[in-house]
Structure 1
Amino acid sequence: MKTAKALIALLGVSGALAQAASCPAYLEGEYRKLHSSESANLCELLAGKDALIVNTASHCGFTPQFKALEALHQEYADQGLVVVGFASDDFKQAAKSEEEAATICYTNYGVSFTMLAPTAVSGEEANGLFAYLGAQSEQPGWNFNKYLLDGETGAVQHFGSKVTPDSEELKAALDTVLQP
């Protein structure tokens, strides 16, 4: 996809045509940002980019991973990594309100990466991206599953809840995917 984007730029194709040409079906869609009326278009946010996608919850034993996710975001953003959190209550660990979830993410843990409003991430109700991620690897069985999505190939590597964002395992995978 990185090659396709370069070709599109070289040919001077712009706007919706360029986006349609470089956006896989699993990235199509608008998702509302956490505790906001603004939306994020996944094609604009992720098409052709390497991404770490995480299903999150505000009241879970793994919630402190937000701090390490933010550190990854800060460390790897210059190399092109996009971190996106999908709030979800699939495992009944979410905050009572989006306002509370936003406070936990943004105030308590200093999250600056894109956080999206609650959505289903598992089972038949899973949103389109998580349906793709689950089909390519495995569905999340709990909160804070991490999916490393190769923006060029669409390949997915899955890291379960217990694999921390600062683990050597995840960092080695990031270094491999982010190679120029």
Structure 2
Amino acid sequence: MKQIIIGLTILMLFFKNSALANYDKTFFDLEIESINGEIIDFKNYENKVILVVNTASYCGFTKQYTELQELWDKYKSNGLIVLGIPSNSFNQEKSSNSEVKNFCEINFDINFPLSTITEVKGKKAHEIFKWAEKNYGKPAIPKWNFHKILINKEGKIEETFSSFTKPMSKKIVNKIEEIL
């Protein structure tokens, strides 16, 4: 019996997830500057589900903007927030916030919230991504553009999705519907 308990403990540590995280603050304690220069205070998103996506204009995954807008249009009235965080962490973003904003509006008719161009990895990463890594581990660190972090209504990370997982995939949609 002792060996089973030890084995289960090791497995739990190996497969660390949000259930094991010891959150000293939630997503709702954070904020970020919008692409228009105002502060987005996440306290205003309490009791909502948030899909945080680091985006880039020159990436092979940039066409995912279309599905992010579709997801936003379909579920925003149910309490979903899609938050795009443009980033040049992978050297694939435009040089100014106004260029990003124009690109998103003209090419993809984006009207979900966007932040300013923001670092998403390393020592200069925005506090959102440092918070995510601290509380969820390595799966929360963007490996590339269009990495997705799903935040539940309690302000904790529910799940993360790689760049390859499309926003309207069954995997993401089912999880969003489950926690809305």
TM superposition score normalised by structure 2: 0.78
Aligned residue in 1 for 2:68:
69
Q: CA deviation at 1:48?
A: 2.9
What is the letter of the counterpart of residue 53 of structure 1? V
Aligned residue in 2 for 1:52:
51
What is the letter of the counterpart of residue 102 of structure 1? K
Other structure's SS at 2:114 match: strand
Question: Is 1:146 the equivalent of 2:148?
Answer: yes
Question: Is 1:160 the equivalent of 2:162?
Answer: yes
Q: CA deviation at 1:130?
A: 1.4
Q: How far apart, in 1, do the equivalents of 2:27 and 2:77 lie? A: 25
Q: Structure 1 stretches of 5 or more lacking a match?
A: 1-23
- Aligned pair in 2 of structure 1 residues 33, 133: CA closer, same or farther (>3 Å)? same
Q: CA deviation at 1:26?
A: 4.3
Question: Is 1:99 the equivalent of 2:78?
Answer: no
Aligned residue in 1 for 2:33:
32
Aligned residue in 2 for 1:111:
110
Aligned residue in 2 for 1:176:
178
RMSD: 1.8
Identical pairs, percent: 30
Aligned residue in 2 for 1:41:
41
Q: How far apart, in 2, do the equivalents of 1:153 and 1:31 lie? A: 15
What is the letter of the counterpart of residue 106 of structure 2? T
Q: How far apart, in 1, do the equivalents of 2:76 and 2:52 lie? A: 14
Other structure's SS at 1:85 match: strand
Aligned residue in 1 for 2:132:
133
Question: Is 1:123 the equivalent of 2:90?
Answer: no
User: Would you say the 8 A contact 1:27–1:128 is kept in 2?
Assistant: no
Other structure's SS at 1:68 match: helix
What is the letter of the counterpart of residue 140 of structure 2? E
Q: How far apart, in 2, do the equivalents of 1:153 and 1:108 lie? A: 31
Aligned residue in 2 for 1:78:
77
- Bigger Rg, structure 1 or 2: 2
